[in-house]
A = this chain, B = another copy of it.
Amino acid sequence: MTKAAERRQQLRDALISAAERTIETHGLSGLKARALAFQVGCAVGAIYNVVTDLDDLIIAVNSRTLAALERDLAAADRVADAVEAAAPVERLVRLGTAYLTFATAHRERWRALFEHRLPVGKRLPERYVEDQRRLFRYVEEPLSELQPHLSDERRALVARSMFSAVHGVVMLGLEEKLQALPSEILREQVAFIASAMGRGLVAHASDSVPRSRSHDLRKGPLGDS
């Protein structure tokens, strides 16, 4: 790397770290180019030598957040593995509560993952999409134990839906949109929903005549397992 490229990389890293701290403290709406330049000690214009725009910077911060979340999910999954001999429903419960713990501890950075909207016409970089995809693998693993016959495509889809369901409980719980819940109760509800979904999948696996095609996991527009 040339000296100039090195300096650019250093400035970029400094900006990402400054943006990360700003988001953690003030949320996404607190992010301003002028304040960032002041924090890292560069001119406002210099920012745009190393990132295209603030959206790029936010995506870089969100990538770091996804990596931190992945570390926590991996740790929760290892515990489940050791303690429960990897019972898939228990693994889902542990992943769900680890997700709640992460969202509680890094509230604003977690929010930024979902609040950030790209301008029309701009797409997420493939690397970021891959960062997201890796997270869902943690759900896909226990899911494939519960439902061994799913196609890869179908398993990926269902894992995202299961993640979304747990996310809904975490999100409405933490934002206190429906009611203020003590954290212990919220934790128990997240575990409960993750567990009910997991147990419902076991039940379905052994249920040879699905009640209605409309919610039959094994058939459908994407399914061909």
Contact = CB atoms under 8 A, between A and B. Distances in A.
Interface in A162-178: 162-169, 171-173, 175, 177-178
Contacts of A199: 199-200, 203-204, 207
Contact of A161 (B163, B189, B212, B214): B189
Nearest to A172: B164
B200 A114 contact: no
B192 A217 contact: yes
Contacts of A190: 161
Interface residues of A, number: 56
Q: How many of these chains are in the complex?
A: 2
Given A188-B220, A201-B196, A215-B191, A114 B177 contact: yes
Interface in A188-225: 188-204, 207, 211-212, 214-215, 217, 220-222
Q: Which of A165, A190, A194, A204 has the most CB of B within 10 A?
A: A165
Interface of A: 87, 89-90, 93, 97, 114, 132, 157-158, 160-169, 171-173, 175, 177-179, 182, 184-185, 187-204, 207, 211-212, 214-215, 217, 220-222
